[in-house]
Amino acid sequence: MIGLSCKDSSRLMSLEQDQPLTLGQRIALRLHLVICTACARVKTQLAFMRRAARDYPGPDNDDPPHRH
């Protein structure tokens, strides 16, 4: 499993959301993520989507105006 493509990596990152990866899969994925910004982005996006789905259906109303 050394030398993953982005396609392989996307499959492993989806699988990782559902079950622990094997050691070989984890190592291969980590090596790929170090050199691939596209897949590193997808990884954080999958984590965000999980949080968003748990929050669904979201706020009752529109958020109050932001003040900074």
Partner 1 sequence: MAMAQDSPGALDAKDFDRHRPQLMKYAMLQLRNPAHAEDAVQETLVAAIRGAASFAGGSSVRTWLIGILKHKIIDAIRKSSREQSLDQFETSTEDMDGLFRPDGHYEEKPAHWGNPEEALSRRRFFEVMELCMASLPKATAQAFAMREVMGLETREICANLNITTSNCWVLLYRARMKLRECLEKNWIKAGGR
Per CB under 8 A, residues contacting partner 1 are: 5-8, 10-11, 14-15, 17-19, 38, 41-42, 44-46, 48-63
Long-range contact set of residues 47-56: C-beta below 8 Å, sequence gap at least 24: 50/17
- CB closer to partner 1 out of 62 and 67: 62
CB of 27 to partner 1, least distance (A): 18
| Distance (Å, whole) CA 32 – CA 54 | 28
- Read off φ and ψ for residue 52, nearest 5 degrees: -65, -40
CB of 36 to partner 1, least distance (A): 9
CB of 44 to partner 1, least distance (A): 7
Contact 35, 9 (CB under 8 A): no
